[in-house]
Amino acid sequence: MAKDGTNRGGRRIKAGHKPDALADKISKGQKATHIEFPRAEYPIAELYGEDMTDGVELEGADMPEPSSYLSAQQRDGEPLGADLIYKETWEWLQARGCEKLINRRLLESYSTAFARFIQCELAISKYGLLGKHPTTGAAIASPFVQLSLNFQKQANLLWYEIYDIIKQNCTEAFDGDPQDDLMERLLREKK
């Protein structure tokens, strides 16, 4: 504590050893905790093979419909395309059994930021890296470059938040990243 009575110094945020993924902790035999979803209030009875009947048709949970603003028509007449990113990411989460852990609004924010990043990259491809100053007419850096960097940073921060939730709670080892597919699509869209 400083002389003026304020707390200063100390450990920096995000400094130090990063926690291991839940699947890694389990495979190493370390103590691990994960989020438990509340079950019905009735005790769960153990079933044996001879106790089971023919079974029932199970229905999977449907993906919540993306909000309409994710596919809103833009000024150029094209849809934003964030709904496609939302669906791909939700399917990736569902394949890992973690779709219930991610807030829908967080997923929508990530999808929108990444779609805006793609939109800026397409504008850079179309209009180039240079623009014209509105009053002097001199060459200036395109504003789409800075916008692209800002949207990319925002999308990455949101993705790290989503990925951290998955890393801390997914009990199965997983490979792959839906962002890999999105980057491939971005590179394919450039003409």
> In terms of C-beta density within 10 A (0-12 exposed, 13-18 middle, 19 or more buried), how is residue 75 classed?
exposed
**Per-residue pLDDT at 183:** 62
**143 belongs to a structural domain:** yes
**90 belongs to a structural domain:** yes
**7 belongs to a structural domain:** no
- Look up tokens 């103590």; give the residue: 31
**98 belongs to a structural domain:** yes
**189 belongs to a structural domain:** yes
How many domains are there within the chain?
Answer: 1
- Average pLDDT of the residues in 92-104: 85
- Average pLDDT of the residues in 161-170: 85
**163 belongs to a structural domain:** yes
**101 belongs to a structural domain:** yes
**65 belongs to a structural domain:** no
**Per-residue pLDDT at 62:** 72
Question: What is the C-alpha separation between 37 and 31, in angstroms, rounded?
Answer: 19
Instruction: Give the pLDDT band of residue 169 (cuts 50, 70, 90).
Output: confident
What are the angstrom distances between the C-alpha of 60 and each of 44, 57, 68, 94?
21, 10, 23, 11
The parent domain of residue 96 ranges over: 78-191
**Per-residue pLDDT at 55:** 59
The tokens of 99 are what?
């779709």
Instruction: Give the pLDDT band of residue 97 (cuts 50, 70, 90).
Output: confident
